[in-house]
Amino acid sequence: MILDVDSTVVTVFGYQEGAAVGYNPRYRGKRSYDPLLCLEANSGFLWDTELRAGNAGTWAGSVELLASCFVSVPADIRELRVRADAGFGYDPVLTVLEQQAAEYAVAARMTPSLKRVLGALRYQRLNARWEIAECEHCPSDWQQARRSVVARRRIEETDTQRTLFTLERYLYRAWVCNSPLSAAGVWHFYDGRAGMERRTEKILYQVRRQKPLAQ
């Protein structure tokens, strides 16, 4: 069973209980919600949600969401895997996943301590464009070191919009994980959540047709 966890922004117009002004890239300054969503990847089923105000902290509510998700996992599930973006890459969240014996791959936060080790890693060729490496890493706000997988490729002239972290001549992607998969396996496993944004938009569209989120 694979659970994909993410957050999204739901803009409201007028007054809705619990909405607040926060990060809203499409309608800046508008009140919104910032719900957490958990989808089961194989079926696309909405597994659980946590409604938050638009100004909620980065991982606020994540522990509560995961606790609710785990309660609903059938007892006969042999293996549980979790994927999430960097907003969930904080020690309380990772500790909860480890306590539940869930294998996870979470996009790593590019903390100063991680940035400092990127250039010293021993990279191996992954494909024609990317190189990959791994290390044990422990940011200052973690209680223990964890496995980190890092991929990089050279910056190209066609890279006009760089959404990835850049350092000198390279673009970087990174994940923190406890999976027994190889570094390349972690890369491919995480990329399996690429369709989540489309599924999330479909779910929110259905919710809006039924009733306001705050009710």
DSSP string, 20-36: EE---SSSTT-EEE--E
Please give the pLDDT value at position 214: 46
Identify the band that residue 73 occupies on the pLDDT scale cut at 50, 70 and 90.
very high
Q: For 22-63, how does the pLDDT look when each residue is reduced to its tens digit (9 = 90+)?
A: 888 888 888 888 889 999 999 888 899 898 998 988 788 999
Question: What pTM value is reported for the model?
Answer: 0.85
Measured CA to CA, the distance from residue 41 to residue 47 in angstroms comes to 10
If you ran DSSP here, which 8-state letter would residue 68 be given?
H
What's the chain's average pLDDT?
A: 88
Please give the pLDDT value at position 15: 78
Q: For 81-138, how does the pLDDT look when each residue is reduced to its tens digit (9 = 90+)?
A: 999 999 899 999 999 999 999 999 999 999 999 999 999 999 999 999 999 999 999 9
Between β-strands 2-7 and 81-84, what pairing exists: parallel, antiparallel or unpaired? parallel
Q: Which domains does the chain have, with CATH numbers?
A: 2-210 (3.90.350.10)
